[in-house]
Amino acid sequence: MKSLWMMECRKITRSILYWLYVAVLFVTVMQNYETAVESELRRTDNPASVFYIAKDGVYADSPDEIDEDAQHAMMINATKRLMDNYRNNSYEYYPFGYVKRKKLSEKEQTAVLQYLKELTGLDEPSMNGTEENKDSEDIQISGGGAFVLEPGQGTFENGKFIAEPEDWGYVENHSGLSQSSGNPENAFEMQVTFDRFKEIMERVNHLIGCNSYYSWTMLSMYYCTNDMQDTPVTEQQHREFYEKDHVTGAFARYYCDNISLIVLCLPAFVMTGLAGKDKRCNMRALIYPRTRNSAKIILARFAAAVFMIMLPILILPVKSLVTLAGYCRNLGVHADLSAFVAYIFAWIFPTVLLVVSIALFITVLTENDSAILLTGLIWLFGRPSVDKIAGGNYGLFDLIIRHNTLKGYGRMMENIQMLIWNRALVCAAAFLLVGLAVIVYDVKRKGGNFFESRKSVGHRGRECPHEC
Amino acid sequence: MEIVITDLTKQYRENVVLNHVSLTIGNGMYGLLGRNGAGKTTLMRILSTLLKPSGGRITFDGVPLEETKQIRSLIGYLPQEFSLYPDMSVWETMRYLAAMSDIPAGIQKERIPDLLEGVHLWEIRKRKVRKLSGGMKRRLGIAQALLNDPQVLIVDEPTVGLDPEERLRFYNLLGELSGSRVVIVSSHIVADMESVCEYAAILDSGRLLYAGAIDRLAGTAEGKVFELTVPRTELESVKRKFCVLSSQGHSSGLKVRVLSDCVPDTGHPVSCTPTVEDGYMQLLRQM
């Protein structure tokens, strides 16, 4: 069985579909996950970073409910973001669970501008920041203070602007300063009630498309749960990150989330390619009359496909694991080196098993590529809804586990029971499908016919193409 | 080894592909003759456990066909149309199919080189299958069919697409293999079967027309083969009246070999000694 499994693995390595899967996985991990890790490591002094360690030991409060302060924070932050999106004409939305950017038409931009005017009371030049404050720069440092370069300081030499250390002045309460005279995004007061704000956001959401950043689902997720990246960490999150997740656990969850949509579909290509190769290469008549048990053949192929699919998933986070472990060593905190393996096997492995087993069963049954179509449909319609991307809100029949934040360990643990049931169910479904595939394969080997005409196994088949 | 086929029937809805065929096959080369669509491939696929019969019974030395695992350990099969994984080498292909046959690694290491040497592929064992010629692929096909050292080798139309030299080599190879086992080989070329098989069966439209020693097949056309000499213009008329076996051009006209139940009344008929092919044609003509 082992030698057959190894030969099946080798067959997979010769498949273009497999390398396509690896390439997509690699690009996704590099573009999304690795970038996020680097970005998080660059902003360790930012109170919103999971790495942030408050010198005074004071962290943000947990806004569990939408009280007046939370409402205000939501309005201010969402309006700032909308202003920024308007200026760049680049709006975030989540059509497939992943963030995308959209450009609005001139008419739509005008509508957004009107809403911004209503929200902030600012005119267009103020919002664009063309009238004021362009000549004031600041560098924020931890603890809320900032070095501020006031107008008139610094000199131009050979066309370059040079600021000497003495040109910068330290200001303790930087937030107050920037609200009054900093970036235009910070220099406004909300002009509408919370209800009117929600109405405007709904209309903006309608303009951008479904599941934009301004949908109520996303706003409440960002500003009511305090688990998305750009909200300051609470003490509980800080403790969870360093004491429960041991740093790497949070990144392992985030890594699994990043690749979850890929493993919901692409492994089907690998399995279909392998299981359908006998027919494409006209090999069935040479393999069917062999003495090896059908269960052993199917299991060897299933195990080979799962192994080869899991291999890059396990290898790709090694770089970030080394980086994170190094960071933890410098910081003197404990890093969980097995976190990636644990999360990958708990979260990703069951999904891989299910997708591969669906592809295996359908391919053995139909002997065509319809498994790819089916898993494509599952990918389109079987993804968890966007309100689950922050994690914790698990359903029994979710095919993938989303957790698009480095925080949220506590929320995951609150629903761990459902998570375990979900993964167990997915695994059980996968093994059931493999069992069915064995039965169907055995029936076919003994001359059973499900869909094919009499001209099937070894009967006037076409010659094998050079690449199959 | 003795294969006993009793009252075998295979039917696809209304279409009867094998019609109550009864046959006994012993050691040595056994030919299955018949036109395309006669049922030869269907019979071979049933014997190879790839197809379930609709009725009848088959035993291999008393072991019924339904004992699939046991039967599969006895047979080696080379289908008419087959390919191999093009990106595997000759050696890898043999290893892969040996693993599929549950052959232990130790035995594989001894047997595979022997088999590849036997079919003259040892020197090119590292060559990819996609780079093999048609004849080489056929020989590799035979080698893979022999992996489990089968007592019954089933070879379906093995020489299709091969040039005469490869064809001859292939049949010689089959002849060497038939010493201690049953080799069932199908073809619609009578001359091929005549040169290599001791026994043969003829199928037509799913029915068994003949089963027995191949050299006795000629006897079925005894007194029914004539050679006529006719002008070229009369060939069409001769074709309408008789079953034409062959025609040969001469300066005086055409020498036409025909099958006829009575002495032809045209073309100065000369009675001829029938060949195996004449006997085969006579059987088909009777249908």
Distance from CA of B52 to the nearest CA of A (A): 5
Structural domain ending residue among the three candidates B215, B247, B264? B215
Tell me the pLDDT tens digit for each residue of A189-200. Answer: 888 998 899 899
**Can you spell out the DSSP letters for B74-100?**
HEEEE-SS----TTSBHHHHHHHHHHH
Query: What pLDDT is stored for residue A77 in this prediction?
Result: 86
Nearest to A464 among B83, B96, B144 (CB): B83
Average pLDDT on A280-284 reads 87
Task: Compute the distance between CA of residue A323 and CA of residue A303 in angstroms, rounded to an integer.
Answer: 31
Q: Are residues B41 and B10 in the same domain?
A: yes
Two tokens at B152? 């019954």
Interface residue B95 vs chain A (CB under 8 A): yes
The answer to whether B22 and B6 have CB atoms below 8 angstroms apart is yes
Interface residue B63 vs chain A (CB under 8 A): no
∠ CA B221-B227-B231, nearest 5°, is 145
| Yes or no, beta carbons of A447 and B79 under 8 Å apart | no
CATH number of the CATH domain containing B173 = 3.40.50.300
Tell me the pLDDT tens digit for each residue of B259-284. Answer: 988 888 887 888 899 899 999 998 88
- Asked if pLDDT for residue A182 goes beyond 50, the answer is no
Q: Are residues B176 and B36 in the same domain?
A: yes
Tell me the pLDDT tens digit for each residue of A83-97. Answer: 989 988 999 887 666
Two tokens at A156? 């131009």
Query: What pLDDT is stored for residue A228 in this prediction?
Result: 61
Structural domain ending residue among the three candidates B165, B183, B215? B215
Nearest to B101 among A292, A458, A460 (CB): A292
Q: Are residues B255 and B181 in the same domain?
A: no
- Asked if pLDDT for residue A334 goes beyond 80, the answer is yes
Domain around B259: 222-286
Query: What stretches of A89-148 show up as alpha helix (H) in DSSP?
Result: 106-120, 124-128
ipTM for the complex shown? 0.85
**What are the residues whose beta carbons fall under 8 Å from the beta carbon of B279, sequence distance 6 or more?**
B217, B218, B219, B220, B221
Q: Are residues B86 and B166 in the same domain?
A: yes
Q: Are residues B54 and B118 in the same domain?
A: yes
Nearest to A285 among B17, B79, B87 (CB): B79
Average pLDDT on A220-242 reads 78
Task: Compute the distance between CA of residue A308 and CA of residue A410 in angstroms, rounded to an integer.
Answer: 33
| Yes or no, beta carbons of B96 and A292 under 8 Å apart | no
Q: Are residues B152 and B275 in the same domain?
A: no
CA-closest candidate to residue B25, choices B75, B93, B86? B75
SS3 B34: strand
Q: Are residues B205 and B242 in the same domain?
A: no
- Count Cα atoms within 13 angstroms, Cβ side, for B54: 15
Q: In this structure, what is the dihedral angle of CA atoms B44, B45, B49, B51, given to the nearest 10 degrees?
A: -140
Nearest CA in chain A to B99: A4
Q: Are residues B226 and B166 in the same domain?
A: no
Tell me the pLDDT tens digit for each residue of B47-84. Answer: 999 999 999 999 999 999 999 999 999 999 999 888 89
**What are the residues whose beta carbons fall under 8 Å from the beta carbon of B84, sequence distance 6 or more?**
A281, A283, A286, A464, B93, B129, B137, B140, B141, B144
Q: Are residues B260 and B185 in the same domain?
A: no
Task: Compute the distance between CA of residue B31 and CA of residue B174 in angstroms, rounded to an integer.
Answer: 12
Query: What pLDDT is stored for residue A96 in this prediction?
Result: 61
In what helix (H) or strand (E) does residue B210 lie, and over which residues does it extend? Answer: strand B207-213
| Yes or no, beta carbons of B84 and A286 under 8 Å apart | yes
Nearest to B102 among A283, A292, A463 (CB): A292
Tell me the pLDDT tens digit for each residue of A116-133. Answer: 999 988 888 877 765 444
Structural domain ending residue among the three candidates B191, B215, B239? B215
**Cα distances (angstroms) measured from residue A233 to each of A139, A227, A387, A407, B93:** 21, 8, 21, 8, 59
pLDDT, averaged in runs of 10, over chain B (287 residues): 94 91 93 91 95 95 94 94 91 96 93 92 95 91 93 90 81 84 90 88 93 90 88 84 86 85 84 90 83
Q: Are residues B17 and B111 in the same domain?
A: yes
Query: What pLDDT is stored for residue B44 in this prediction?
Result: 96
Interface test with B, best of A291, A452, A456, A457 (most B CBs within 10 A): A291
Task: Compute the distance between CA of residue A373 and CA of residue A359 in angstroms, rounded to an integer.
Answer: 10
Q: Are strands B199-204 and B207-213 parallel, antiparallel or unpaired?
A: antiparallel
SS3 A147: strand
User: How many domains are there within chain B?
Assistant: 2
